[in-house]
Amino acid sequence: MDDLRVEEVAINLKLWMLYRFYHMLKANNYTKIFNCNVYCLILFIYGAIVNCMVVYSSIGFFIEMDDIISDVDVFLVVFVMINFFFCSWRICIILSKSHIICDVLNVAKFNFLTSKQCFKHLNALYDYRDKTIKITNYFFVFSVIVLIQWIIFPIIVITFMESDVENSRSPNIMNLRFPVSTQTYNQYYFIFYLMEVAIAAFPIYVIMVTDTLILSFSLVTISQQEVINRAFKSIGYEENSQSKYYEDFKSILGDQIQLNL
C-alpha cells in the first residue's frame, strides 16, 4: 500500500504522523536499521528499557525496606504497574497487526465508496473529517497537559515540604518502590525522578496512540455509513427508469457490503 496523503483520508493523518505511528505502520516505506523500521526499533528499545526499570522497581515489594508505605500507596503503585504492562502488551499487539491496520486504512479514503450515488453525498464525509480532526487534537492537547501536570507535581510538592523528614521518601511521579534505602533515594532523587518521567511517558504515549486509532476508525466507519444511508434515501427522488433505480440500489448495496467486510 502506497503512502497516503492528508487530503485523501477522513482521519487526522497529521496527528498520526506526529506520533510517528503512521511511520511504524508503514514499516517497509521508511528508514531501516538492521532490517528493522527505525521508528519501531526506537520504540522497542525505549519500551524494553522502561520495562526493565519497572521490573527493577518491583523488587522493593519483596525485600525489607527502611521506610513505611500505606496500603493505599501500595494499591496505587500496583495499579500503575499493571496499567504499564497492559500498555506494553497493547502496543505490541497493534504493531504486530500493522498490515491489517494498513488494510483497514482504506476505509478512511474519500474514494472508498465507488457508487455514483455515494459520491453525491461525500460532504457528510468531509463534515465528519473536520469533527475527527477537532476531537483528536483536543484529546492530544488534553493528554499532553495531563502528562505535564503529572511530571511537575512532585517538584512543586518538594518545594513546599520539609526537607528533614526521616524515613520518608520524597514524593515522585508514581512513587515506585525502587530497592534502595531512603537516604540513597533522597540523595539521588533527581535520578529516580528522571527514571519515573521516562516510565510515565511510555503509557501516556501508548494511550494517546491507541485511543486516537480507535477513535479515528470508529468515526470514519460512522461517516462512511452515513454516506451510504443518505445514498439509499436518495433513490427514487430523481426521474429515472426502474432499471436505473435498480442499478443505483445494487451499486450502493455493493458499497455497503464492502464497508461491512
Strand bridging mode 36-37 / 32-33:
antiparallel
**Out of 85-99, 101-115, 173-187, 202-216, least confident range:** 101-115
The model's confidence at residue 257, banded by pLDDT at 50, 70 and 90, is confident
Residue spans per domain, the chain: 6-260
Confidence of residue 137 (pLDDT cuts 50, 70, 90): very high
The mean pLDDT of 146-172, rounded to a whole number, is: 81
Cell numbers 500500500 correspond to what residue? 1
pLDDT confidence of residue 231: 80
Measured between its terminal Cα atoms, the distance across the chain in Å is 18
Task: Give the whole-angstrom CA distance, residue 161 versus residue 116.
Answer: 68
Question: Phi then psi for 180, rounded to 5 degrees?
Answer: -135, 165
Provide the greatest CA pair distance for the chain. Answer: 89
Q: Is residue 193 scored above 80 in pLDDT? A: yes
Q: What is the pTM of this model?
A: 0.85
Average pLDDT over residues 191-203: 94
